[in-house]
Structure 1
Amino acid sequence: MRFGLLPALLLLCAGVAAHTYAAERAPDVILRDAIPDTAFRTYRLLPFDVPEGVKAIEVRFDYTGREARTTIDVGLLGPGETFDAEFRGWSGGNKRSFILSSSDATPSYLASPVTPGRWQLLLGVPNIRKGQTSEFTAQVYFQRDDANGMPTPEAPLRAEAGWYRGDLHMHSAHSDGSCSSKSGEKRVPCPLFLTLDAAADRGLDFVAVTEHNTSSHVKELTALQPYFDKTLLIPGMEMTTFQGHANAFNLREPVDFRVSSTQVPDWNSLLRQAQAKGALVSINHPRVPTGEACMGCGWSPNPAADMSLLQAVEVVNGYDVESQTAGIPFWHEQLQKGHRLTAIGGSDTHDITSKNVFPPPGRMGVPTTVVYARELSIDGIVEGIRSGNVFVDTAGTRDRKLNLTATHKQVTVSMGGELSFPAKQTATFTVRVEQLINGTIEVIRDGAVTQRTDVPAATHSWSFKETSDGKRHWIRIDVRDGEGKLALIGNPIYVK
């Protein structure tokens, strides 16, 4: 479909640096148009060609003459024979950039597959004064098949490194989340906004929305992120199968979850799909029995899954901390086998209006996963979980902290790190606990408690020695509160 006269334009192709975001590399295409005063109240088209293998299109644009009240509206058309087929969205004059892919799009635009062919920016000129010419420039970035979904936001919510607190497991109306209707007279699918608002009210720095086997919520998260300017919204999916559940964080596209089918013969096939899309995968509630009360909930891949394709395990689900179905023993088994999985927790919230404390859905932010990250961004949190410098606050407090470091000579590592030192030599481990009094520190070595001591009331820090026997070990810390309840769960330092 065509609108008016095709304007003179210049398309410049630029080199592409793989695996980088648009802000960090040259654009794939630059579109330019000199818009004269005769374009007043007309439409113009700037065509560009999209090659094979592109998953997402990002467009950044600007124009001169704003001080003279020039206004240029922008929309996007894709390949098609009719306007209905071509139309991909219209933001008018309210944006200077937008992104579109099959699973996500900036509000005003429609999520749709990025098909190869001729695409066009659609420009409308509601105002340009006589004697004025506006120079319009658009930078178009193509994200390829190996770029793992949509780019993260341009700027982190917080740019500094530090401990960030969040909830990594929740559901809304996009899967099986439900709540009371506004009148309170019936149960209804719970709007995603209410779930996110509850997270913001809890003071959480980040949340992962992990709907069952769907990515329908991703576009809504993109639309809501500017409003939730203090709470990072991480897209995710609970890959729900008959042989177990696992959360895939930063997964923005569908994956074929039909484990034991012809298309997906086993869990390894599913995990490789998620890996190819750039997701971090964590096993959920691995010891919860599978049955009519919770279909497929227990971790039982057949054949066994390749644990190297997994990065984390949910050791606390809701209020289930130390029962027979809690996940810590399963995690310890994997650590003993040499699999370095990061322990995390998630509320598994399904109803943010529920007053029940047990069993789940539970309460938003209980437990809280606390991640040391370089910044508050999706990349920062995901990298932090991968690194293992993480602890779980089982009560979901806003201020408790646990830190463990190990030092040998001039080398110091934190949780998730590896410290190498020769046999018969000694390393110093230092524990720091904050905002928990009358508690007990437990040193856990290869799954067994080897030492206990009270949390020092004055210094909050305590050190102990470990002498190498020339073998591999893992050492981590648990902290119990004054009533003996497990309050803080630390990740290991690996001794080599």
Structure 2
Amino acid sequence: MDVLHPEQDGGPEGTPGRRRFLAVAAAGAAALTLESLTFAQGAEASAQGAPPQSGEETRTISGHLDTGVADFVYLPVEVPPGVRKISVSYSYDKPSVPSGTPGNSCDIGVFDERGTALGGRGFRGWSGGFRTAFEIGNSEATPGYLPGPVGEGTWHVVLGPYQVAPQGLNYQVQVTLTYGPDGPAAPRHYPARRAKGRGRAWYRGDCHLHTVHSDGRRQPSEVAAGARAAGLDFIVSTDHNTSSAHAVWGEYAGADLLIVTGEEVTTRNGHWLALGLPAGDWIDWRYRTRDDAFPRFARQVRRGGGLVVPAHMYCAYVACQWKFGFDDADATEVWTGPWTYDDEHAVSTWDQKIGEAVRSGGRWIPAMGNSDAHSEPQVIGLPHNVVRADDLSTDAIMDGIRAGHSYLAESSAVQLTFTATGNGRQAGIGEKLTVPADAPVDVRLDVKGVPNGTVRFLTDEGQMHQESLDAGGEGSVVWRTTASLAAYVRAEVRHLMANGSPGQGNTMGDALLFGSMAALTNPIFLAAARH
């Protein structure tokens, strides 16, 4: 199989030469590794027993990847002692392709001398396809990359050609080593794991946000300001495949805003959120479903007290649709950004999973809603989660989400109270009400902030009640059932449809049955008492 045809410059003499590649059976996705790229000046000085004191040295490699190349292509770089900074740039061609045929797209990142083992310690940064160049030194690094010493040994620049045109992909990588003493270590400002809070209360937070540390265009300061403007109490940092932003968030957190560290893990078979990671922790993404690696990294997240959350499960982009199942999920994102048919489908799948859990007596999976905001005009907090937690702390918020004590809202103007009351007892969102099988149970939803909204109550049988709110957007809706008729009840609040209709109820039609979502609750479970 000859899928990689690299050429490099020939060193000081400039004589180009063909280079072989090595196929590697990685613990995760399939990979290819080139032979090492060496630097004459550094090697010369090292042979003389003293590292270079100053100056820089550049090498360039170019090559061709055919369609069907492995997920990751590694370029080993032999870094001699005495290197102060490593700089990498790359480019690749984008030939015209027929309509409907994927064109070339190639990501980039780097691992240091500690190696490329799946989940290992060598990770030093990733920028996907968002940047064409990056630098790493002890004092600073390009966003997405981790500052620190440029240690002696074999580094690996990694290319991720996730789409290759029929003509193949021609690439060029340039690596520059700058010699000299390390500068001072970069400061680390990790955010505190607790903010002031209001004790046991409902807290609002967006758990899927991006900055310039991955493919977002907002600075962390802008995201924090946007969260405050949206009336949020907490946010989670989820830049793609890197933990580099963790060390800057401490500057922008405060008594009024808890900032939780996390990551969006973008595998070749779907994206997932690792929420509540210990600051600085990184989760590997280099695997597919067939590699059977996802459960390992899900366990890693949980050991640190975090949550595993599949993201935008029906996203139509390449590698975005969720393929790993839900056995290792702690919650699932069913509403991502402005409401679309993808979200409608995700809510339907989630509701089906609730029914399966009820039938089997197994674990149910709470729903989440997040903005996935990257840049203007995407709105931070549209939607977000309103979580009942004992405190405004990372651990308490994660506990509230894990338990399903939460509802989803499009903005801080939307307020819900959802309860089920029967036989002298009451349960709230994510809780269970146990009553005699035929005892009346009153399900009540109090709503604010959804003018002319449509309230829907849904059970394991589907929609059982629908009622409209007035133009003021405030009201209470009550519906009676029993534990023999409903195993769970959840509520939705929808906007009017484009034609001004509240929705089509249970009838079938060509269009969406209802308008866009304004709010969505996790269920209240009803159980018949055993005598």
> For 1:384 and 1:459, how far apart are their aligned partners in 2?
26
Deviations 1:146-196 (A, max 9, x none): xxxx99847532133322222111111211112xxxxxxxxxxx4222222
Matched, 1:312 2:331: yes
* Distance in 1 of aligned mates of 2:190 and 2:366: 25
| Secondary structure of 2:477 counterpart | strand
Instruction: Give the one of 171, 193, 205 matched to 2:210.
Output: 171
Displacement of 1:256 after TM fit?
Answer: 2.9
Give the SS at the match of 1:331: helix
CA distance in 2, matches of 1:256, 1:481: 40
- DSSP-derived class of the 1:168 partner: strand
Match of residue 207 from structure 1: 235
Aligned to 1:461: 476
Matched, 1:388 2:404: yes
Secondary structure of 2:435's counterpart equals coil
Q: Which residue of 2 aligns with 1:334?
A: 353
Amino acid at match of 1:160: G
User: Match of 1:366, SS?
Assistant: coil
- CA deviations 1:350-385 (Å, max 9, x no partner) are 11xx23xxxxxx221111222222222222221221
Structure 1 residue 316: Cα displacement? 0.9
Q: Matches of 1:287 and 1:408 in 2, distance apart?
A: 38
CA distance change for structure 1 residues 282 and 194 in 2, over 3 Å: closer, same or farther?
same
Find out whether 1:369 has 2:385 as its counterpart. yes
Contact 1:286 1:330 in 2 (8 A): no
- Supply the distance in 2 between the matched residues of 1:261 and 1:329 (Cα, whole angstroms): 23
CA 1:217–1:403 in structure 2 vs 1: closer, same or farther (change >3 Å)? same
Residues 1:458 and 1:335: Cα distance change in structure 2 (over 3 Å): closer
Q: Is the 1:443–1:452 contact (alpha carbons within 8 Å) kept by the matching residues of 2?
A: yes
Paired AA for residue 240 in structure 1: T
Alpha-carbon shift at residue 317 of structure 1 (Å): 0.7
Q: Residue in 2 aligned with 1:254?
A: 282
| CA distance 1:324–1:416, change in 2 (3 Å) | closer
Aligned position for 2:246: 218
Shift of 1:319: 0.8
Rounded to whole Å, the distance in 2 between the matches of 1:425 and 1:445 is 17
TM-score with structure 2 setting the length: 0.55
What's the counterpart of residue 260 of structure 2? Answer: 234
Aligned length in residues: 324
8 Å contact from structure 1 (residues 316, 345) kept in 2? yes
Once the two structures are superposed, residues 16-69 of structure 1 have per-residue CA deviations (whole angstroms, 9 ceiling, x without a partner) of xxxxxxxxxxxxxxxxxxxxxxxxxxxxxxxxxxxxxxxxxxxxxxxxxxxxxx
Q: Which residue, out of 350, 353, 370, partners 1:346?
A: 370
1:202 Cα shift?
2.5
* Cα pair distance change 1:420/1:201, threshold 3 Å: same
Distance 1:410 1:277, change over 3 A: same
Q: Deviations over 1:391-445 (max 9, x none)?
A: 1113x2x221112111222321101011122322222212111233332211101
> In structure 2, the residue corresponding to 1:169 is in which secondary structure?
strand
Superposition map of 1:115-126 within 5 A: none
- Conserved? CA contact 1:367–1:392, under 8 Å: yes
Contact 1:259 1:270 in 2 (8 A): no
Separation of aligned partners in 2, 1:236 and 1:400: 26
Contact 1:267 1:305 in 2 (8 A): no
- How far apart in 2 are the matches of 1:286 and 1:363? 20
Work out the CA distance in 1 between the residues paired with 2:450 and 2:335.
Answer: 19
How far off its partner does 1:230 sit? 1.7
Unaligned residue ranges in structure 2 (runs of 5+): 1-83, 85-121, 124-138, 140-145, 149-188, 358-362, 503-514
Query: Shift of the alpha carbon at 1:325?
Result: 6.7
Query: Deviation string for 1:258-293 (max 9, x for gaps)?
Result: 23499x62322221121122111211001113xxxx
After TM superposition, list the pairs within 5 Å mapping 1:67-466 onto structure 2. Answer: 153=192, 156-178=195-217, 190-225=218-253, 228-252=254-278, 253-260=281-288, 265-289=292-316, 294-301=317-324, 304-306=325-327, 309-323=328-342, 326-338=345-357, 339-351=363-375, 354-355=376-377, 362-394=378-410, 396=411, 398-446=412-460, 448-455=462-469, 460-466=475-481
**Distance apart, 1:217 and its partner CA:** 1.4
Q: Is the 8 A contact 1:442 1:479 kept in 2?
A: yes
Whichever residue aligns with residue 295 of structure 1, its letter is: V
* Consecutive unaligned residues in structure 1, runs of 5 or more: 1-83, 85-101, 113-149, 179-189, 356-361
Q: Distance in 1 between matches of 2:474 and 2:252?
A: 42
Q: TM-score, normalising length from structure 1?
A: 0.59
